[in-house]
Chain A
């Protein structure tokens, strides 16, 4: 008995973690999947109902707007974060004075919650006392900046705040990547007469392919899950013009008693994340095994 215990001690120590994750992650996802195939309203029902909830979901105007917003947001969020991140990383890599201070400034938003930063941006972007008033007071009398309360433009305020929050993270990833390249490679290229621009464009950035991949995966992941920022900045408004899937899901689940529908929307989000993550984990694992 004692021998058995000793032999299996590592597995026993592992058991709580495996059990908790098995139950609270896999079990719960399966439960949500099951419920998405039922006609649950306020409370979960367990008779199967087929794909009805998914049909309802994709016929819902609000869901279509959510998906549309998510695509627009993700595209802009990705482009701006990666471009700004790379520019900052390359520029900081030039033996800059006060690099530490600048890096700290670029990255501090990552330490704050989206609720805190959303509150700040909401105040800055509000048309009556924020940026608009600042420019008017400076003498630009016809200046208008009402994106926050403008149906067409409100989604872009979320992009502004989101990029502000996450661009520094991409910078940190690329800076770490650039610093891990051996000096010899750069020196050799310079001896061959390559300018700084060529060195980065032709040699270093192509070497950063894994970093691009990682940034892409993490940013898409952040954007699919974005919830807090929208709640703090626009609550999905004006109207429903800035709803996104995560907001749709919680509203359906906890405010509108559409448990089945919310489960279906959650599963759509799950599949979107899985489509990005599984190839990523697969390639990471292959890289690790290749070592």
Chain B
């Protein structure tokens, strides 16, 4: 009897907690979905707006569905309208950005790999100070170097050129790439390197035969990080280049701000998507590495 009572009240309790649990679950999903819609909303608006005609934009609302798949504004954003002066479109600037990103990512990643290797496997007196010295470069506000950089690029004869931007992005990428490789190589057992040294392997041989083959993950992380940073940069691009040498973000901003005739929001949105698509693709395909780059710079270990 006593037992029976106990178990039934327990069952009641369990039933009750099951209901609260279910309620909590629903609440949980509700909140998560509300936030998801807040995050997805601008992307949705960008895509549908880019597919509408200006007439549709004026008549419908932000959320309304386009009448069809109309890629005209994409064509205008990418290739222009085909008349001469004043016709700005993204195609040449998209290639500028590619020409800037590829070498800058390559050089900064290579230098970072080398410094990370030395700082962990060929330690010397004061090496942690050297690391700190490089690391501080991650944090300086770039405003503090804009003026002398502009003068230096001028003195080198590479202001307003893609070569100049490659130099700038390579240099200011080194602190980050060094940080990534150093933190990765720290966890590689030093015994491996020591054994190879006893066997007579030299500096470069050890790097190429032992470390490089196991570096794929960190190379991917670094390349993605640098690619995203450099592709999305606006400050350097807008300060050190203009006109024909401008990278895509600068061109996008100029296009959107140009106050000629009527504002064409559909073309603006198509342009913004074109400028954002490369990094977005990388993010969707390699999100894991992207997040690792974001967090490994911040939370170590």
Contacts and interface: CB of A to CB of B under 8 A. Distances in A.
Interface residues of A, number: 96
Given A111-B280, A176-B295, A231 B234 contact: yes
Interface of B: 28-29, 31-32, 35-36, 38-43, 45-46, 49, 57-58, 61-63, 111-112, 114-115, 117-119, 122, 124, 128, 130, 132-137, 139-151, 171-172, 174-175, 178, 202-203, 228, 231-235, 238-239, 249, 252-253, 256-257, 265, 268-269, 271-273, 275-276, 279-280, 282-284, 287, 290-291, 294-295, 298-300
Contact of B234 (A17, A29, A114): A114
A266 B235 CA distance: 14
A116 B270 CA distance: 10
Contacts of A288: 300
A27 B35 CA distance: 45
Contact of B148 (A31, A112, A138, A267): A31
A96 B275 contact: no
A262 B147 contact: yes
A249 interface: yes
A130 B141 CA distance: 34
Contacts, number: 257
Interface string A83-120: 01001100110101000001011111111111111011
24 contacts: A6-B203, A11-B124, A17-B112, A17-B115, A22-B133, A27-B148, A32-B148, A110-B283, A115-B232, A115-B253, A116-B249, A116-B272, A117-B276, A120-B45, A121-B42, A123-B45, A129-B62, A172-B291, A177-B299, A246-B235, A265-B143, A266-B141, A277-B136, A288-B300
Contacts of B128: 285
Contacts of A122: 256
Contact of A18 (B130, B135, B142, B265): B130
A7 B132 CA distance: 24
Interface stretch (A54-62, A149-157, A182-190, A221-229): A221-229
A273 B141 contact: yes
A106 B115 CA distance: 34
Interface of A: 6, 9-11, 13-14, 16-18, 20-22, 24-25, 27-29, 31-32, 35, 44, 84, 87-88, 91-92, 94, 96, 102, 104-117, 119-124, 129-131, 133-134, 137-138, 164, 168-169, 172-173, 176-177, 210-211, 214, 218, 221, 224-225, 227-228, 231-232, 235, 245-246, 249-250, 253-254, 259, 262-263, 265-267, 269-270, 272-273, 277, 281, 284-285, 288
Contacts of A218: 298
Given A134-B63, A210-B299, A266 B144 contact: yes
Contact of A102 (B32, B135, B228): B32
B134 A18 contact: yes
Contacts of A134: 61-63
B111 A120 contact: no
Contact of B276 (A116, A123, A254): A116
Nearest to B255: A119
A120 B171 contact: no
A169 B35 contact: no
A25 B124 contact: no
Contact of A105 (B39, B171, B174, B203): B39
